[in-house]
Structure 1
Amino acid sequence: MTQHVSQRKTRGIVAVRADGSSDVTKLFADLNKDWEAFKTTMSQKDAEIAARFDDVVTTDKLKRIEEGIGETNARYEAEIDKLNAKFAAMSVNGGSDGSQLSEADRAYKATFEEWFRTGDGESNVKAAIRAGEITAAYEVGDDSKGGYTAPIEWDRTITDERVEISPMRRFASVQSVTGQGFTKLYNLHGTTSAWVGETANRPQTDGSVLATYAFSFGEIYAMPAATERILEDSEIDMAAWLASEVNIEFAYQEGAAFINGDGVNKPKGILRYDATTETALPAAQRHPLGPISEVLTGDANGLTADGLIDLIYDLPEDRSQGAALYANRKTHAIIRKMKDGQDNYLWQPPFQSGQPAQVLGQPIHELAGMPDVAAGTIPVLFGNMAQAYRIFDRVGMSVLRDPYTNKPYVLFYTRKRVGGGMWNPEWIRYYRVGDGT
């Protein structure tokens, strides 16, 4: 059983909802104000350079404004994504108040929380699982081998928190799976046809070529510790407490893997599908649709305006819907200073509240973990990330309660299986620093 959630599907709704958010509206106004100050100060700086005069005061002012734009834009996008994540969670989970849970799920949640807090009721947890009284997606747990599956509401809480922290979860598609892995069947086409006369023989034609691709999975874990006082406090939401303890570490590990993971006991990152890396793999391990195409910047050590135009127009028209640029904050700063041949800045602030900034008319998002601009690196991606990359969450999160190893603390060995890889390379492009020499 799988469940596919595309975070990007709700972005248009966010634009409407964001108008009612004072935080988003204020950040939108601040960002546009900072941008006007940046342009004015940058023009002053250009005039000083033309006059061969470099005023330190202007330089420092420009640097402060530039840093302010970067911070404001990051906060602005984070607020939009927070609203987006909450809306997606409500759409998929039926609300977060537990009202959509089945009677069996609510009962299991109460039983599990009693065991989590006190260590008592372990037999009740086992009985609930073995009796099949909870969602079929849960597997039979064995405390001696890795813990018990957490209630579905706990799993949702931690997943929702990771969406707000892990950048790739905001943009890629996310699919829930119940097995240990996921294999997709790709149709490589190849079906042929022929023209014949009315009474001519009709020899057999070639059929479609099918190929499979197994996505890389790994197990991510953390071991938060709690005092007895915390566990005995009935006012503390234990699902929220566990989420606050593990989500930052989970998000950090995931973020690194989704960008540059090698696929060994972890997801395979989006930057690992270049032609050189794919060609070095055994044929059976290569992606059936081939590597991601790349466009050179046109400069051996940096970015160029012409190169960005080439990048955007290299994506076929039928693959350009929902496309955006992705880069880290340092690269954003570089692009923000770039101009076209008519002395217009390539980067423009959002035109309306709830929408991202744009470069050459295309949305641009901050994606932590992307490389800095340097010779041979890929500092920018362009495409529809939801169509290009897929994240797999195995349904269920296991928790092992350990009150013995580190007394007086109780340790909670928390683990979850996560996968990821390229879904379709035709929807995205690499922008590699180089001039082809």
Structure 2
Amino acid sequence: MSDLIKATVKRGKVRQAVEQSLIKRRKRNRRFRMLGLAAVMLGMLFLGMMFFSIISKGYSAFVLTEIQLEIYFDAEIVDPEGARSPEALAAAAYGKLVKNALRKAFPQVKKRKEKRKLYRLVSTGAEQQLRELVQKDPGIIGTRQKLWLTADDDVDQYYKHGENQSRLKAQQLAWLAQLRARDALRTSFNTNFFSAGDSREPELAGIRGAVVGSFFVILITLGLSLPLGVAAAIYLEEFAPRNRWTDFVEININNLAAVPSIVFGLLGLAVYINFFELPRSAPLVGGLVLTLMTLPTIIIASRAALKSVPPSIREAALGMGASKMQMVFHHVLPLAMPGMLTGAIIGLAQALGETAPLLMIGMVAFIVDVPASITDPATVLPVQIYLWADSPERAFTEKTSAAIMVLLAFLVLMNLFAIWLRRKFERRWD
């Protein structure tokens, strides 16, 4: 009887110890989940702060300030010979027309120093606006037109952000107050930001040249890295014998995926520019460098997609009499292609945001013209952001943030497209 009591007491103690252990384990699990949730929330908080900072600084770059002036297209200035030749119209001093209009709007300004301050209210890009108007319609020569002209960046910052963000003098502020009272000052959508190339003047700077350069670079990267990466993955996964050589190649592919991107830039500088003497700052060289950087990612993703196809597909194809080549290209590759495309898009999204390798091959140069081919000097959007962030002009701060917003939009769209491809074409195997 005493042994039964002792056994019962012992089982009770064991049960109590197990229950206490379970309680402690559940507490530890709850603490771990809470720490994980806190880490996720903290990360989302920092991400939200980053996006808020970028958007709050960059949204104003999508609008620009304009000043309305009555421009007299004086034939003695625009076309004194009256030939209406394209060369004469292009070479005319349209800046004089803007200065004449400003002096007429503010007749009280007489001193030379005051006139210089007055002229700085309007951007130098106004001359190009007038030139384009005359070239498009020479019939306006000799007429008066009320036109909205681009304001200087200091005026733009004052109108959008107040005096704290402006370097204007008190006299210039008084002139702007008069323009506002006449309803001759307004903001409108900044089409220059999307249609113009880079410029030393912040109000004239745009991202078109950088976007076109990025398009050429990504086009070359896609055209080279996707077929090469898929072909390498198919060979290594389906045809290559398992020996020391293939093990060596696989190890190096995995190692290349972790190599800093600037190393690829140094390789491109040494091989493509110094050895092959390809043009510096060209999208062709940028695409070749990014191809080297993207290849390991695409090969690894493509091999993973091939491995995800069940062996039964291969066995069934071979059992029906298909050759190994037919089995791979008619059955395995179509089923693995969605995963391959997803990996390729993710690799291209990574390449789109790269800056360091492109700096090494000279794509950091100041490029005003929009590139027309893959051999023209060009820059890319991340490098353009880098250049603007380093500029001392205050107005470039909002341009930098706005360009980051555009780049992030491209990256988000590319990743969403990769997710859509995977969900649309993905097959689940039971």
What is the TM-score of this pair, normalised by structure 2?
Answer: 0.26
Say which structure is richer in strand: 1
Q: Tell me which of the two structures has the higher relative contact order, counting C-alpha pairs closer than 8 angstroms and 6 or more residues apart.
A: 1
Quick check: which has more Rg, 1 or 2? Answer: 2
What is the TM-score of this pair, normalised by structure 1?
Answer: 0.26
